């Protein structure tokens, strides 16, 4: 029998190899055909404009894209640009004589979060201080796009475009009415007056506590945004323009481009051709067969050539996206995957310190604890650990941060949300509407529980609530021990409340302000490494060669022309509404399928660019079919 099993495994292995070889040959042939049909490939330029054509969002860690979806999909996936790559390129361009000008094409930009954009703005300021021209162009600027553009020396706007400064905030979606109408019972187990993550399933509107919490956070973020933009562009009349938008539009008789000029938000009105001609004056003419009307150097290519060797002694691991159980690719914080990355790096014996970059709204408590234990193992090996918070490090993101010696954040970082919850649905009401009931026998009070068909027993509900309360006490214990905060003080700042980085520092939840570079410097100091010798070693997830090949093939000329839809203000607003619709379907599916106990900041999604789909997200069509079944 063992021999037959070995033969079977061998045959399956041969089959897999043959299938992989066939697919590889097929895609190589397809790539060759596309290359021939596309004519002569564009000539690569060695000097000119560094082009940041940001057709998508800026993230800490781009998500892994399924190669099959890339190849058979009818639309190119939304691009994600790694913050680290952009900073590397901009800082290298500062002293590179071959870079004549830096161009920000923000027509398809969907955002990046205030912390990331503030860091990029600092790099753009460094370029301008080095006398490198920085130009920005868009048909419509919204908050994130304008925060970047404000750091440019020349801000261009399409004459038919607009600048729409809305500030953080907006409506949340609430599903209580839909739940009641469908007959679904949402069993809510939570701790914390301000733990509003479950309110969409519990209420038809926002509670006064949650509203006060969110208003205070939004006000702080808006003040930080205004301060950053005003420092970069002092002449911009931000406050009157944003506080009285109708008056600004009426004064310009509806010409929103002129309204932006009058408020000194932009420098010039011009179409894409006029802007390209201006860039060509600075960068030089484009070579033959170039896809650009001026000499342009691609961001990805340039960042790759300027990336330093990854041979440092300060490990840097990224925890980005929703924290989930099990394993997953980049862009999703899978507990098992990240813990293994840390453990393998520690086992090498080459690290002298560890920096954890957190950009996550939290998620599964079990996965958060798995990551925290892996981080704590570094401290057990006498390695200093420093956490660097990005745009958001809330709930589970803060849970894992408690394992650090030091925590650094930005004033606009969203953190806190120290609370836990669980949502488990049952469908007895829905089934009763179609005449289906349930009955049975029990041998213990928990037989058949959780009973999603007949409803939960009081015993199950009580035990689950006690479990949630116990995990909340554990959360408080971790925070109290790590931050040396008394239980009385902690009780006033926990309960799921959200804080901006500035307030979090006053409350003792973080140690100081700073980004990833400052965290690496602090880790080097704690490890007694001379600043000149401190080098990061990025503990990045590995991508298989086949996926890399497909991504490179698809990300060439095909994606260069993949932008669909308009780029004016109406198109951007439409895209935002579509993102809201997708989020509503995600939330509804989350309720229907249930889940583990969560330390997750669901309301944080309103402060982040685009949608934040989980690893298990499915397409819109699949979601609609799901709800029709």
Q: Which residues are catalytic?
A: 195, 395
Is the separation of the CB atoms in 157 and 138 below 8 Å? yes
Taking the mean position of all CA atoms in its chain, how far away is CA 606? 12
Place of tokens 């014996």: 349
Place of tokens 């590889």: 24
How, if at all, do strands 385-394 and 79-82 pair? Answer: unpaired
Identify the CA nearest to 60 among candidates 417, 421, 422, 393.
Answer: 393
Taking the mean position of all CA atoms in its chain, how far away is CA 187? 29
Tell me the two tokens of residue 586: 């995600």
Identify the CA nearest to 403 among candidates 317, 321, 478.
Answer: 478
CB atoms within 10 A of CB 549: 15
Q: How far is CA 77 from CA 102, 332, 614, in A?
A: 26, 16, 15
Q: What does the alpha-carbon distance between residue 331 and residue 125 come to, in Å, rounded to a whole number?
A: 29
Tell me the two tokens of residue 225: 């945004």
Q: Is 176 exposed, middle or buried (0-12, 13-18, 19+ CB in 10 A)?
A: middle
H helix or E strand, kind and range, residue 463: helix 458-483
Is the separation of the CB atoms in 417 and 604 below 8 Å? yes
- The DSSP 8-state label assigned to residue 223 in this structure reads H
What is the torsional sign of CA 504, 507, 510, 514? positive
Is the separation of the CB atoms in 56 and 80 below 8 Å? yes
CB atoms within 10 A of CB 73: 13
Q: How far is CA 606 from CA 80, 289, 435, 580, in A?
A: 19, 42, 40, 9
User: Strand, helix or coil at 58?
Assistant: strand
Q: What does the alpha-carbon distance between residue 584 and residue 174 come to, in Å, rounded to a whole number?
A: 9
Please, what's the b/e burial string for 91-107 (b: 16 or more CB within 10 A of its CB; e: otherwise)? ebbbebeebbbbbbbbb
Q: Which stretches within 81-207 are classed as H helix?
A: 83-94, 114-129, 143-149, 176-182, 199-202
Identify the CA nearest to 239 among candidates 263, 261, 255.
Answer: 263
- The DSSP 8-state label assigned to residue 614 in this structure reads -
Q: Is the peptide bond before 450 cis (omega within 30 degrees of 0)?
A: yes
Three state DSSP letters for 188-203: EEECCCCCHHHHHHHC
The DSSP bridge partners found for residue 392 are 414
Is the separation of the CB atoms in 409 and 119 below 8 Å? no
The region that residue 448 occupies, defined by phi over 0 for left and psi between -120 and 50 for alpha, beta otherwise, is left
How many residues in total does the chain contain? Answer: 629
Q: Which stretches within 484-556 are classed as H helix?
A: 487-493, 501-507, 516-526, 545-554
Is the separation of the CB atoms in 164 and 142 below 8 Å? yes
């Amino acid at each position: 029998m063992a021999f037959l099993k070995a033969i079977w495994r061998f045959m399956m292995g041969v089959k897999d190899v043959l299938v992989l070889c066939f697919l590889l040959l097929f895609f190589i042939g397809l790539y060759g055909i596309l290359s021939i049909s596309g004519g002569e490939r564009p000539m690569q330029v060695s000097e000119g404009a560094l082009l940041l054509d940001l057709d998508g969002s800026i993230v800490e860690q781009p998500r892994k894209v399924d190669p099959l979806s890339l190849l058979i999909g009818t639309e190119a996936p939304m691009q994600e640009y790694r913050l680290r790559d952009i900073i590397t390129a901009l800082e290298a361009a500062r002293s590179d004589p071959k870079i004549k000008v830096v161009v920000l094409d923000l027509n398809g930009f969907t955002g990046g979060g205030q912390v990331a954009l503030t860091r990029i703005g600092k790099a753009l300021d460094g370029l301008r201080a080095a006398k490198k021209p920085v130009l920005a162009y868009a048909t419509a600027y919204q908050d994130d796009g304008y925060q970047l553009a404000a750091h440019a020396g020349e801000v261009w706007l399409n004459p038919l475009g607009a600048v729409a400064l809305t500030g953080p905030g907006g409506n949340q979606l609430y599903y209580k009415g839909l739940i009641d109408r469908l007959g679904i019972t949402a069993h809510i187990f939570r701790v914390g007056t301000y733990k509003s993550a479950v309110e969409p399933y519990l209420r038809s509107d926002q509670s006064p506590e949650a509203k006060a919490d969110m208003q205070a956070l939004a006000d702080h973020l808006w003040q930080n945004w205004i301060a950053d933009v005003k420092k970069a562009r002092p002449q911009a009349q931000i406050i009157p323009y944003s506080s009285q938008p109708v008056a600004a539009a009426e004064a310009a008789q509806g010409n929103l481009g002129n309204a932006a000029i009058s408020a000194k938000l932009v420098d010039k009105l011009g179409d894409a051709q006029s802007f390209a001609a201006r860039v060509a004056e600075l960068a030089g003419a484009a070579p033959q067969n170039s896809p650009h009307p001026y000499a342009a150097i691609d961001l990805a290519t340039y960042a790759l050539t300027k990336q330093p060797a990854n041979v440092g002694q300060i490990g840097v691991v990224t925890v980005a996206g929703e924290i989930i159980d099990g394993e997953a690719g980049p862009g999703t914080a899978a507990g098992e995957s990240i813990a293994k990355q840390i453990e393998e790096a520690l086992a090498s014996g080459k690290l002298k310190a560890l920096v954890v970059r957190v950009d996550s709204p939290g998620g599964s408590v079990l996965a958060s604890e798995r990551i925290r234990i892996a981080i704590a193992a570094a401290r057990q090996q006498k390695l200093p650990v420093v956490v660097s918070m990005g745009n958001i490090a809330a709930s589970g993101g803060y849970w894992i941060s408690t394992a650090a010696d030091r925590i650094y954040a930005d004033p606009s970082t969203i953190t806190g949300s120290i609370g836990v919850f669980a949502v488990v649905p049952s469908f007895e009401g829905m089934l009763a509407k179609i005449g289906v009931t349930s009955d049975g026998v029990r041998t213990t009070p928990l037989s058949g529980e959780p009973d999603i068909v007949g409803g939960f027993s009081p015993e199950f509900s009580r035990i689950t609530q006690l479990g949630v309360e116990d995990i909340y006490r554990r959360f408080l214990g971790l925070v109290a021990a790590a931050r040396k905060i008394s239980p009385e003080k902690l009780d006033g700042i926990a309960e799921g409340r959200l804080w901006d980085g500035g307030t979090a520092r006053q409350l003792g939840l973080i140690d100081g302000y700073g980004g990833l570079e400052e965290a690496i410097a602090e880790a080097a100091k704690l490890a007694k490494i001379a600043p000149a010798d401190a080098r990061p070693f990025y503990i990045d997830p590995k991508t298989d060669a086949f996926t890399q090949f497909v991504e490179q093939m698809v990300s060439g000329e095909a994606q260069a022309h993949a932008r669909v839809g308009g780029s004016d203000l109406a198109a951007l607003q439409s895209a935002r509404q579509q993102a809201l619709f997708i989020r509503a379907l995600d939330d509804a599916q989350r309720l229907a399928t249930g889940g583990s106990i969560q330390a997750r900041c669901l309301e944080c999604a309103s402060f982040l660019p685009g949608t934040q789909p989980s690893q298990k997200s499915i397409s819109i069509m699949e979601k609609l079919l799901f709800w029709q079944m």
